[in-house]
Structures are given as structure tokens and as C-alpha cells.
Structure 1
Amino acid sequence: MNRLEHRFHITSEWISEYAQSIQAPLQMIHGNLIAPATMPIIFWQAFNIPWLSVDTPLIHGKQSFSYKAPITAGMIIDCELSLTKIEKKAGREGDLTLFKHSLICTSEGRIICTAETVLISIGGGV
């Protein structure tokens, strides 16, 4: 399986806590708090990702976010995390395995945000 789904209820408290943890200013739109642009990265914590080995350390290689609308307090966000590609490369420290992921977040059937992430495993295993 290379696709996982999870639903999140975005609260003002969650946004405030995350913003404080990264020292980001709080912003509002139409009376609702707006999540910092990088907040979808913590959505990963809710997923049990079977294709990533817990025995092998991972390096965060690359990440990008693309927004159609802001994530705001009160939203119900449906997220789909997909493994889009596994690529093997030779590196200075040994073999590298690049895991390319896509996280698509929707609300009420509309795409809100897409995050592309590359995680890198150094050494033997997947």
C-alpha cells in the first residue's frame, strides 16, 4: 500500500500551538485563525507509514507547499499521503534511497493544499 488517508479537525488551539512552536505570527481571515504554511508537515505524525523503515534514519531532503486556499480554524481537512516514487542513488556516504511523497489536503471536496516531500534513507534498506 502506498497511499494513506486521515481526517483532521483544525482547531484554533492547534494552530496557535503550532505557530508558537515555530515562532510564527498568528494571522486571521474572516475571524478565523490561519494555519502557518508549513503546518501540514505535522499531519504526517498521524500516519503509520509502512513503507518507511523505523530502523533506518531519514534525512529531510526537500519540501514544497502549494496552496489554493488557506487552512483555517474550524476546517475539516481530509489528507491523502502517497508515495509517488522510490529512487536509488549512490552517495558519498553510501547508497541513498529517495522516497518522494505527495500530501493532498482537501476540505469539502476542494483541494486546499498540496505538499511535496522527499525523505532520504542512507545505507542499505528500505
Structure 2
Amino acid sequence: MRLTKKITVTAEWIQRYAKSIESPLQYLHGKLIAPATMPIVFWQLFDRAILNNQKPVLHGSQQFFYHVPIQEGMVLHCELALSHKEHKQGKQGPMTFYTYTLNCFERGTEIVQLKTVLIHVGADI
């Protein structure tokens, strides 16, 4: 399943996010740039149906791969997809590792890719 969303990045949004994580504001060529971790809040804009269940999950890891910093005024076309699923046996029983990939583009140019691993403990869902 692949979900898509158009996301407009405003200066106000960047400022609110930067303040929430106590990050200083930064500029590039006179434009406000987003803190590197800001794409994690993009998940909130997607339909959570991609997660397939209501069970609690553990956060495994995150990786950000930037080609260009996110700047105020960008209109990003983002795609969120389940890119990998792996079953493992843990001390508490079966675990399933789900890797989600979020790719964001502006006018066809990739800006950032975010990989997030979420862990479901218990029987496969």
C-alpha cells in the first residue's frame, strides 16, 4: 500500500516545530529551513490505515537521507509506503519489524527520504 500527500511547508510551521524541539532557527539564502527531523511530523498528515492495526508499537529506528534542506514555501509531494517486513523471535516472543519509507519530492526532485522501523511484539498482524 502506498499513500500520497501534498504538503506545503510554511515558515510558521517550521518555527513551531523548531520551538517544540528547542532547535535554533536556521536560514539558507534568506529562507527559513526546517530542522532535519521535521519529516517525522509528516506522518500525522497521512491516513494511519497503512499501519494495519491498533496494537501498540515500539519505535525501532529512523534514518533521514537529505538531498536538499526543506525550506519555507516548498510544496512537497510525499509518498509513504511499507517497504520491508521481517519476522524475528525475541525474548518475549514473536516480533515483526515493519520498515516504512517516506519519500518527499518538489517538482520531481527528491528532497528527503525517511526510513522508519516500527516493531510489533506478539503474533503477526
Aligned to 2:91: 92
Aligned to 1:109: 108
What is the RMSD of the two structures over their aligned residues, measured on CA atoms?
A: 1.1
Q: Using the alignment, how far apart are the partners of 1:125 and 1:70 within structure 2?
A: 37
Q: Using the alignment, how far apart are the partners of 2:92 and 2:32 within structure 1?
A: 44
Aligned to 2:16: 17
How many angstroms does 1:50 deviate by? 2.1
Q: Secondary structure at the match of 1:50?
A: helix
Is 2:25 the partner of 1:26? yes
Percent identity between matched residues is: 46
Q: Using the alignment, how far apart are the partners of 1:52 and 1:108 within structure 2?
A: 28
Scaled by the length of structure 2, the TM-score of the pair is 0.95
Aligned to 2:36: 37
Scaled by the length of structure 1, the TM-score of the pair is 0.94
- For structure 1, the residue ranges without an aligned partner over 5 or more in a row are none
- For structure 2, the residue ranges without an aligned partner over 5 or more in a row are none
Contact (CA 8 Å) 1:56, 1:125: kept in 2 or not? no
Q: Using the alignment, how far apart are the partners of 1:73 and 1:67 within structure 2?
A: 16
1:65 alignment partner AA:
F
Aligned length: 125
1:12 alignment partner AA:
A
